[in-house]
Amino acid sequence: MSEVIVITSGKGGVGKTTSTANIGTGLALSGCKTVLIDTDIGLRNLDVVMGLENRIVYDLVDVAEGTCRVKQALIKDKRFDGLYLIPAAQTRDKTAVKPSQMIKLCEELREEFDYILIDCPAGIEQGFKNAIAAADRAIVITTPEVSAVRDADRIIGLLEANEIRNPKLLVNRLRADMVRRGDMMSIDDIIDILAIGLIGVIPDDEKIVVSTNRGEPAICDSKSVAGQAFRNVVRRIKGEDVPFISFNEDQGFMLKLKKLLGLKAN
Amino acid sequence: MLLDLGRIFGRSKRSKDVAKERLKLVLIHDRANVSPQFLEMLKSEIIKVITNYMDVDESALEIQLTKTKSDDGQGVVPALYANIPIRNIRKSGK
């Protein structure tokens, strides 16, 4: 059975494209035939993050308009077995594709692929509507910042209004040291506010920049902590129960002191 | 350590708590989809009805959307908060 998963966030720059690249590569590495669709028409980037920018001939708009067959627009990633990309068009805008065309495309892709990952553009306009049109499930990305969490809340509301039930949250760029100091919202804080299930926590990791520079997803880097976190996300998507690493804040000086003096039970 | 001392003496609030509080408030408005105009309209309607029964201080009337614990005590629900200072209750109504 194949699944269409949209990766969305509302706010820009929180890591939708990077997450799509990593999760998609991880799914392919785990033996699932996967296609990534970049729906950010006019501002395409999944191709460069994946290092496939030199292989584009046809794009999403060509497929939607029937200029080419779906097969012709599929770029095969030669490094990973079973991984394909349909890039966005760069010289058009979001109105070049309609939700009905996305549904038709995904129906066709479902016959051949286990997972269809849709990289959603920022915003809640036409591009968002296209991206979610065919989705069975949604992963909402946020960072532990007020603006990103606020936008995630709006997106969760819109997904539910469009009958995409039970979206899952991916918290990106978490700084455990800042959470410990009480200078960054913890996972529990964010879950408390958004009230949805968690699918992953990606720690802030310099290696993401390095891997994006090279066009090689960090999930392949065994030393990258973000890569490890993405591998866990992939396992959870496939239905495995993978425990979360705790990134909670310190209990505070007084509480520690009281514990030390035996005034408070653990 | 310095930060901890500040907290002991109640001087600084952890920035993440500030973030969380601000978010909770802003989301109440976002989720309710309430504009300032909407609140103004509501306010004037409430004044209209209430002045039929009592004399209130319109300039001091305060109305806002806030949050309160839900009945089951589990979550937080939006609540309409109105502070209406009464000058004089009319004896017979109208």
Q: What is the pLDDT of residues A210-237, one digit of tens each?
A: 999 999 999 999 999 999 999 999 999 9
User: B7 and B44: one domain?
Assistant: no
Query: What is the H or E stretch that residue A35 is in?
Result: strand A34-38
Taking CA atoms, B43 is separated from A111, B28, B39, B47, B54, in Å, by 57, 18, 6, 6, 16
CB atoms within 10 A of CB B47: 14
pLDDT in tens, A234-255: 999 999 999 997 666 665 666 6
Q: How many domains does chain A have?
A: 1
Residue B71 pLDDT more than 80? Answer: no
Q: How far apart are CA A201 and CA A141, in angstroms?
A: 10
Q: How far apart are CA B80 and CA A207, in angstroms?
A: 48
Q: Considering the domain boundaries, does residue A119 fall inside one?
A: yes
- Helix, strand, or coil here: A130? helix
User: B45 and B84: one domain?
Assistant: yes
User: B19 and B48: one domain?
Assistant: no
CB < 8 Å & 24+ apart, contacts of B46-49:
B46/B82, B46/B84
Mark yes or no for CB contact B16/A193 under 8 Å.
no
User: B23 and B42: one domain?
Assistant: no
Q: How many domains does chain B have?
A: 2
Residue A263 pLDDT more than 70? Answer: no
Q: Considering the domain boundaries, does residue A10 fall inside one?
A: yes
User: B45 and B14: one domain?
Assistant: no
Q: Considering the domain boundaries, does residue A42 fall inside one?
A: yes
CB atoms within 10 A of CB A58: 19
Q: What is the mean pLDDT of chain A?
A: 94
Query: B15 at the A interface (CB within 8 A)?
Result: yes
Q: Provide the residue range defining the domain that includes B3.
A: 1-33
Q: Which of B4, B5, B23 has its CB closest to that of A193?
A: B23
Task: Select from B1, B4, B12 the residue whose CB has the most chain A CBs within 10 Å, as the one to mutate to test that interface.
Answer: B4
Taking CA atoms, A151 is separated from A141, A144, B75, in Å, by 10, 12, 21
The larger pLDDT score, comparing residue B50 to residue A73, is at A73
Q: Considering the domain boundaries, does residue A157 fall inside one?
A: yes
Taking CA atoms, B54 is separated from A201, B40, B48, in Å, by 56, 20, 10
Which pLDDT score, from 0 to 100, does residue B65 have? 75
Residue B6 pLDDT more than 80? Answer: no
How would you class A50 by CB atoms within 10 Å of its CB: exposed for 0-12, middle for 13-18, buried for 19 or more?
A: buried
- Strands A34-38 and A83-86 come out as parallel
User: B94 and B70: one domain?
Assistant: yes
Mark yes or no for CB contact A253/B7 under 8 Å.
yes
Q: Considering the domain boundaries, does residue A266 fall inside one?
A: no
Residues of chain A contacting B13 with CB distance shorter than 8 Å = none
User: B64 and B20: one domain?
Assistant: no
Q: Where are the alpha helices (DSSP H) in chain A?
A: 16-29, 46-50, 60-65, 70-73, 99-110, 126-132, 146-161, 176-181, 187-194, 206-214, 225-237, 253-260
Q: How far apart are CA A75 and CA A225, in angstroms?
A: 28
Question: A38: pLDDT confidence band, cut at 50, 70 and 90?
Answer: very high
Q: Which of A69, A136, A64, A73 is nearest to A101 (CA)?
A: A64
The larger pLDDT score, comparing residue B10 to residue A187, is at A187
Taking CA atoms, A70 is separated from A75, A188, B22, in Å, by 10, 43, 47
Q: Provide the residue range defining the domain that includes A185.
A: 3-260
**Exposure of A52 in the CB half-sphere (CA atoms within 13 A):** 29
Has the ipTM of the complex gone over 0.95?
no
pLDDT in tens, A141-196: 999 999 999 999 999 999 999 999 999 999 999 999 999 999 999 999 999 999 99
Task: Select from B16, B25, B69 the residue whose CB has the most chain A CBs within 10 Å, as the one to mutate to test that interface.
Answer: B16
User: B51 and B7: one domain?
Assistant: no
Please report, for the domain that includes residue A225, its CATH number. Answer: 3.40.50.300
- Helix, strand, or coil here: A38? strand
- B residues 74-93 lying closer than 8 A (beta carbon) to A: 75
CB atoms within 10 A of CB A110: 17
Q: Considering the domain boundaries, does residue A175 fall inside one?
A: yes
User: Which value, in Å, is the radius of gyration of the alpha carbons in chain A?
Assistant: 19
Question: From its phi and psi, is residue A8 left (phi > 0), alpha (psi between -120 and 50) or beta?
Answer: beta
Taking CA atoms, B47 is separated from A136, B40, B59, B79, in Å, by 48, 11, 11, 19
Which pLDDT score, from 0 to 100, does residue A198 have? 97
User: B39 and B17: one domain?
Assistant: no
User: B7 and B49: one domain?
Assistant: no
Which pLDDT score, from 0 to 100, does residue A265 have? 46
Query: What is the H or E stretch that residue A1 is in?
Result: none
How would you class A222 by CB atoms within 10 Å of its CB: exposed for 0-12, middle for 13-18, buried for 19 or more?
A: exposed
Q: Considering the domain boundaries, does residue A265 fall inside one?
A: no
**Exposure of A20 in the CB half-sphere (CA atoms within 13 A):** 36
Mark yes or no for CB contact B14/A182 under 8 Å.
yes
Q: Considering the domain boundaries, does residue A103 fall inside one?
A: yes
User: B38 and B53: one domain?
Assistant: yes
pTM of the model as a whole: 0.81
Which pLDDT score, from 0 to 100, does residue A258 have? 62
Q: Which of A56, A53, A13 is nearest to A208 (CA)?
A: A13
Crossing angle for the helix pair A206-214 and A225-237, nearest 10 degrees?
80
User: Any idea of the CA torsion for B54, B57, B59, B60, to the nearest 10 degrees?
Assistant: -120
Find the residue in B nearest to A189 (Cα): B20
Q: How close does chain B come to A40, measured CA to CA in Å?
A: 26
User: B11 and B54: one domain?
Assistant: no
